[in-house]
Amino acid sequence: MPRMGGMSRPDIRQWQPPTEAEPDLVALVARVARGDHQAFELVYGELAGPVYGVVRQVLRDPAQSEEVAQEVLLEVWRTASRFDPARGSAAAWVLTIAHRRAVDRVRSESAGSRREQKAAATEMVPDDVAEVVAATLDHQRVRRCLDGLTELQRESVKLAYYGGYTYPQVAHLLGVALGTVKTRIRDGLIRMRDCMEVTW
C-alpha cells in the first residue's frame, strides 16, 4: 500500500498504550496466578513497554535490556500468586521488579564496565532511536513534575532511578555530601508524588 508522503518517519514505531479503558491489572494478575494465558498476554500488552523502557534506560545496551526484560516478565508469570494488592498497584509491583533487576545487573561488575562505555549518566535514551518513547500523558506529566523540582533534587532522582546509581555514587557524581543526596532524593520524590497525585 502506498504510504502517505512525509507525515512521519517510516522507521519509527511508536509504542501505543492500549486504547481501551485501562484494564483492571489487579484482576488480571489474579488470573495470571491461576495460569490464565490470555490474562498474561493482556498484562504483557500493558506493561512490556514500560518494563523494557525502564530496563533499557538503566542498562542502555539493547540486547542486555531485552534479556533482563524477559526475565522480569517471566518472574511476573512465575510469582503472580505472591502479588499482594494491599501493598501497592500491580504496575508498581512489576516495575519495582524491573528496576531492581536492571540495577542488580548493572552492579555486577562485568555489566557495569560494558555500560560505562555506552553513555553518560543523566541523558535519556534519545528520542530518535528506532523505538520511540511514547508521547503519553504519563510522559508529559512526569516531565512537568520533574521541572518543578530543584536542580539538585531533579539530578539526584534521575541519576538514582534512570541512571541506576547508588546514592554514594550520585553524591560523587554531583560533588555533594552523602547526607545532602539522601535528603534531596527523598524530598524530590515526595514532591513528584504530590505533583503526580499518587494516591498510595
State yes or no: residue 180 binds other proteins (CB under 8 A).
no
In the complex, minimum distance from the CB of residue 5 to other proteins, in angstroms, rounded to a whole number: 24
In the complex, minimum distance from the CB of residue 2 to other proteins, in angstroms, rounded to a whole number: 24
Q: Please, which residue, 1 or 137, has the CB nearer to other proteins?
A: 137
State yes or no: residue 26 binds other proteins (CB under 8 A).
no
State yes or no: residue 95 binds other proteins (CB under 8 A).
yes
Residue from 23, 31, 44, 152 binding other proteins (CB under 8 A): 44
Residue ranges in the chain assigned as alpha helix (H): 25-33, 37-59, 62-79, 90-107, 109-118, 137-147, 151-161, 167-174, 178-195
CA–CA gap between residue 86 and residue 116 (Å, rounded): 39
CA–CA gap between residue 44 and residue 76 (Å, rounded): 10
State yes or no: residue 165 binds other proteins (CB under 8 A).
yes
In the complex, minimum distance from the CB of residue 113 to other proteins, in angstroms, rounded to a whole number: 18
* C-alpha distance from residue 38 to each of 23, 41, 77, 94, 120 (Å): 13, 5, 12, 18, 40
Residue from 42, 60, 68, 188 binding other proteins (CB under 8 A): 188
State yes or no: residue 176 binds other proteins (CB under 8 A).
no
58-64 contacts at long range (C-beta below 8 A, 24 or more positions apart):
58/99, 58/102, 58/103, 58/106, 58/162, 58/163, 58/164, 59/102, 59/105, 59/106, 59/111, 59/115, 59/164, 60/115, 60/118, 60/119, 60/125, 61/114, 61/115, 61/118, 64/105, 64/111, 64/114
Q: Please, which residue, 28 or 53, has the CB nearer to other proteins?
A: 53
Residue from 10, 11, 82, 108 binding other proteins (CB under 8 A): 82
Residue from 25, 28, 42, 54 binding other proteins (CB under 8 A): 54
Residue from 121, 132, 173, 176 binding other proteins (CB under 8 A): 132
In the complex, minimum distance from the CB of residue 149 to other proteins, in angstroms, rounded to a whole number: 12
In the complex, minimum distance from the CB of residue 151 to other proteins, in angstroms, rounded to a whole number: 17
Residue from 9, 74, 118, 148 binding other proteins (CB under 8 A): 74
